[in-house]
Every structure is written in C-alpha cells, then in structure tokens.
Amino acid sequence: MATHYNKGNPTNKIAFILSTPGKVEGVAGRPASGETGANLNAILEILNKREPSLFGSTDRYEYLITNASTEVMHSFKGNGRTEDVSLNITREKNVARIQSEVKNCSIIILCGKKAELLSAYLHGKKLIRLPHLGNKGLRNKYKNSSPLLNGLKTAAVRDATRLRLCADCILEQLHNAKRASPEGH
C-alpha cells in the first residue's frame, strides 16, 4: 500500500480523494490514517446504517482512497506546507494519475479544497464535495456557533454531530445527483 493510495475492494464504486498524505500517513505508510481515518470510519458507520446498498462497509480500506497530491507533507518537513500547491495538483501528469486511479468508480467524494481542484477533470462521475475530514476541516465547516451545534455542551458531542452532518451532506448530494440525472440513478 502507498501513503497516498489504497485501491480498496475492486467491486466498490466509491472513491475518496483527500488532499495530501500528512505526517501520520507517512509514518503509517497508508492513506487516511490518524484522525482523518477515524473520522472517515465514523462517517462510514453512519452511511452504512442509512444507505447500506451504497455504503456496504464501515471499513475505509474497502473503498478506493487517493490523494490530490502524492507527496507526504506536514509543517515540520522543512517547507512549512501541509498541502501541495494548486499548480501541482492540476498538472497534466497528476490529473492523469487521478483519472486512472478512479476510472472504475462512479461516485467520487472530494474531501477538501485541494481535492476539489480535480472536479473539472472527473467527467461522467457523481462528485460529492466535503470539507477536509480532519477535525480542523470539520470544525471550520461546522462551527460551534452554527445553529446546528449551538447549545451542545461538550466537544465530543459537537464532534460527533459534525460527523453526522458530514454524512448527511454526502447523502443529500447523492440524492440531488440522482434526482438531476435523466435516468433517475
């Protein structure tokens, strides 16, 4: 397995594109490790209960996972960056890599702004847009002051609610795409 790529179960037609492998992924030698991976598994548990025909597994490594960038990046690595620059992500060679990796998937879940840069190159796919799945990304998207989180007493309850909201966002976008398609699927 590569730090930036997991092929998943070949019969699964869902792919997750994250931004870039970080320090935890570099150490683990696999994508979506640490808190991002734990959050992805928690979201998959919610999705599995609500849409088991689409999300048949709660194990993130049953799904194709790739990153918009292959380079392990973290703030202590020397350049201070935690994500690759947009130009590298939209470079022809990198776009071709992504297209090849997700060619057999029909649903692509783009996690974060860097992953979203690839949306223009993923024709014929249902694209779902999410924030970065790390706690920082989820907290930036679903702020404590929002009506959905306001009044929740503990950080743990707010974080669990963020994961549910993220799962809701996936299902809403999938259902909207289904309604918008000419065949209804």
Give the end-to-end CA distance of the chain in Å, rounded to a whole number. Answer: 33
Residue 1 reports pLDDT greater than 90? no
Q: What is the chain's Cα-based Rg?
A: 16
What are the extents of the domains in the chain? 5-134
Give the per-residue pLDDT at 26: 76
Residue 148 C-alpha from the chain's centroid: 22
**Rounded distance between C-alpha atoms, residue 40 and residue 146, angstroms:** 22
- Give 66-102 pLDDT, tens digit per residue: 999 877 656 555 556 666 667 788 999 999 999 999 9
Say which amino acid occupies 30. R
- By CB atoms closer than 10 A (0-12, 13-18, 19+), residue 170 is buried
Q: How high is the pLDDT of residue 47?
A: 98
SS3 category, 86 = helix
Residue 128, amino acid = I
Instruction: Kindly report the pTM of this predicted structure.
Output: 0.91
Segment 131-168, tens digit of pLDDT: 999 999 999 999 988 888 988 889 999 999 999 999 99
DSSP-derived 3-state class of residue 32: coil
Cα–Cα dist 137/102, whole Å: 24
Whether 39 and 135 have beta carbons less than 8 Å apart is answered as yes
Of all residues in the chain, the percent with pLDDT exceeding 90 is 64
* CATH code for the part of the protein at 5-134: 3.40.470.10
Tens of pLDDT, residues 17-61: 998 877 778 778 888 888 999 999 999 999 999 999 999 999 999
Q: Can you give the pLDDT at residue 154?
A: 92
User: Which residues are registered as beta bridge partners of 129?
Assistant: 110
Strand-pairing partners, residue 64, are 15
